[in-house]
Chains A and B, each alone.
Chain A
Amino acid sequence: MMYDWLYNLTGSEILAMFIVSLLPLFVFILPFALFAVLMERKVSAHMQDRLGPMRTGYHGILQTIADIIKLLQKEDLVPTATDKILFNLAPLLAFIGSYAAFAAIPFSGFFIGTKIDLGIIFIVGVTGLVVAGILMAGWASNNKYSLLGAMRAAAQIISYEIPTLLIILTIIMLTGTLSLYDLSEMQTAYFWNWLILGGPAVGLQKILLIPFMIMGCLIIYTSTLAEVNRTPFDIPEAESELVSGYHTEYSGMKFAMFFLAEYANMFAVSAIVAIMFFGGYQSPFGYLGNTLGWTWLVPIEQFFWFTSKGLFFVFVQMWLRWTLPRFRVDQLMAFCWKYLIPFSFVILLLVGLIALM
């Protein structure tokens, strides 16, 4: 594991811990956010018959860096009527919430921030901090649009956590583990061992599981999409109604924090879907490293597969965003309580019965 390796290398527990914990931030989240923003622009542009950014670097690849420089240079505006402490704390909290989730995500068999046994529950719990951040931002801004946005966000995220958790529960029931690492290891070897195709179960049970797993996957993808406030569930920041919702009053780096949190979150939920249903970091058809006997290649391959899967789901999120209109707040809640939650209960029940077989 990475920590042990670093411990051997540096000889200091603190230093090793420090590097391991900062690694996802610098090696992954920040470059990912840079890449995802550019990707979003290019994806949307090509969907809309445009070119997107073309001036900064080759085909605009430096555009996000230019944006970051712009955001860093901007004056940090704090409106007078705000609640200063909460106003400044809110973007941090939102960012911490989404950053902390990465601690438990296994990027490969070799590198996982903290190998906690409660991984999945930890992620669900710690991303709950984002709600607090959003509510604080909305309240502290002392702006009616922000307040409306924050209220919507709180209602939406809390509601959509129920179907998410029910599906997670189904998976836990089926696999008997809460650790994302174990979950990934369980789906090893080939892609028919992925949970979307019934997991390591065999025979009739596997065939029976497949439709429920596909449904479960759709439900968890939809509800996590709602949790990260992406279209068609982006009503907390509905641009055409609430200006920008809870981050209307933010500017400069504080705004960038929310922005970063959103993109980090996008990847986090994509990663959860990938780990739970699509084998996590496991390759769909064995490893080149094993075939050639180069064991050092395996973790790199695993990392590659994991990010590819994650990026694919991020791409689907973008695809949806640039295709669908947005729900109204009551329709959004109705969708969750009338369709997603009952369906997840049915899946939980039936998968339980199948698992007993």
Chain B
Amino acid sequence: MALKTEEMVLNMGPQHPSTHGVLRLELQIDGEIIIDVIPHIGYLHRCFEKHCEAMTYPQVIPYTDRMDYLASMYNEFGYALAMERLMKIEVPERVEYIRVIMGELQRIASHLVALGTYGADIGAFTPFLFCFRDRERILHLFEITCGARLLYNYIWIGGLSHDLHPDFIRLTKEFIKDFRPNVKELNELLSYNRIFIERTANVGVLPIETAINYGVSGPNLRASGMKWDLRKDDPYSVYHKFDYDIPIGKGEKGKTGDCWDRYYVRVLEMDESLKIIEQAIEQIPDGDVTSAIPKRVKPPEGQIYTRVENPRGELGYFIISDGSINPARVKVRAPSFVTMQVFPELCKGFMVADVVAILGSVDIVLGEIDR
């Protein structure tokens, strides 16, 4: 007798421990095998783009903080850069250096969250707290700089809100010194753990053509084996002055572009960011960080699309100015928004447990997807 079997629809989220926010995934499963995944987003929609149209240009900056709340510094960086290009503002060198230091610290902090929560998704809880312990020190550095731990409003159009704290350089050096062994510890505890490799290698392989066609960017694209980093390929700020590598996925433990590669590229990137920070704090010039801030931000009529390499990928700002003090249109090309599109492709044929593994490996932030 043949038994009647049925596919099951499982709602993962909006409240679920490992959807990294309020994401709802509609899983069609056959037993534990995934047939299809339909993501439903918008639970965190805060009308960022509508708000922008009612704000003046500098007032937009705190709103950009709230998009990708794990990489607020970089969101501000991108927005400030776009506005400076639109208004043709020359920024003092010191400002650029501080921005780079902050941006790279933010990248490490963001990757630490990604790696830690990824460990927690796979079931190893201890790496999560180790990562957060180190992230805490970065947040402390931000806190002494601008008074906020998560949403900074630090990088302004044409400058910065404050200069560095006198202790900042010393504390950053200490952090770098302490952090390197911690990365090694993380690798021993999680990256090369046999069970971890079993869970992540050969799972959710993203081929490079698919990745480009979908517009996937950042660490996820690099894990697929493409050496593409906007810091080098579309240079901005003072990144050309530093010596660093772009790590790419090599398929060491499985196929190129699997979850382990995506995970490990982030680990390597933290190391490269440390190199950049080390060089930047050696070379940082003196100067006034507020001198180039325009009194009145009124860009000429026109439009600009500027992109920066956010910890999660290509963060683009498309700004249209109609010549008034309010932007006519601010559209954000959020890296997670694009990455999320390719997610159903990655999951098909894997198991429920792998959905969690894949979702963690692409590292999305819902605040940015929903804006």
Contacts and interface: CB of A to CB of B under 8 A. Distances in A.
Is A in direct contact with B (CB under 8 Å) within the complex? yes
Interface of A: 44, 47-50, 144-145, 148, 231-232, 234-235, 238-243, 322-331
B195 A327 contact: yes
Interface in B234-251: none
Given A48-B130, A243-B16, A328-B198, A322 B125 contact: yes
A240 B356 CA distance: 7
A49 B133 contact: yes
A49 B351 contact: no
A48 B129 contact: yes
A216 B10 CA distance: 40
Contacts of A243: 16-17
B267 to A, nearest CB: 16
A325 B199 contact: yes
A240 B358 CA distance: 12
Nearest to B8: A144
Q: Closest 3 CB pairs between A and B?
A: A326-B123, A325-B124, A48-B129
Interface string B339-365: 000000000000111111000000000
A322 B126 contact: yes
10 contacts: A47-B126, A144-B10, A145-B10, A238-B123, A240-B120, A241-B356, A243-B16, A323-B124, A325-B119, A328-B354
Given A48-B126, A144-B10, A323-B126, A239 B17 contact: yes
Contacts of A145: 10
A326 B354 CA distance: 12
Interface residues of B, number: 30
A325 B122 contact: yes
Given A241-B352, A326-B123, 13 more contacts: A44-B126, A49-B133, A148-B10, A148-B32, A235-B353, A240-B120, A240-B121, A325-B119, A325-B122, A327-B199, A329-B351, A329-B353, A331-B198
Interface in B324-351: 351
B196 interface: yes
B220 interface: no
B291 interface: no
Nearest to A50: B129
Contact of A148 (B119, B120, B195, B352): B352
Contacts of A49: 129-130, 133
A229 B324 CA distance: 63
Contact of B123 (A47, A148, A231, A330): A231
A328 B133 contact: no
Nearest to A330: B351
B190 interface: yes
A328 B126 contact: no
B130 A325 contact: no
Contacts of A47: 126
Interface in B126-143: 126, 129-130, 133
Given A48-B126, A49-B130, A326-B123, A232 B195 contact: yes
B193 interface: yes
Contacts of B121: 240
B72 interface: no
Contacts of B125: 44, 48, 322
Contact of B190 (A144, A325, A329, A330): A325
B145 interface: no
Contact of A325 (B16, B17, B196, B351): B196
Contacts of B124: 323-326
A161 to B, nearest CB: 22
Contacts of A50: 129
Contacts of B353: 235, 238, 241, 328-329
Nearest to A324: B195
A241 B129 contact: no
B189 interface: yes
Nearest to A144: B10
Contacts of B199: 325-328, 331
B185 to A, nearest CB: 11
Contact of A326 (B190, B195, B352): B195
Contacts of B273: none
Contacts of A327: 195, 198-199
B321 to A, nearest CB: 45
B306 interface: no
B176 to A, nearest CB: 19
A145 B119 CA distance: 21
Nearest to B359: A240
A329 B32 contact: yes
Contacts of B190: 325
Contacts of A240: 17-18, 120-123, 356
Contacts of A234: 123
A346 to B, nearest CB: 22
Contacts of A330: 351
Between A323, A324, A328, the greatest number of chain B beta carbons within 10 A of the residue's beta carbon is seen for A328
A313 B119 CA distance: 25
A268 B242 CA distance: 60
A261 to B, nearest CB: 21
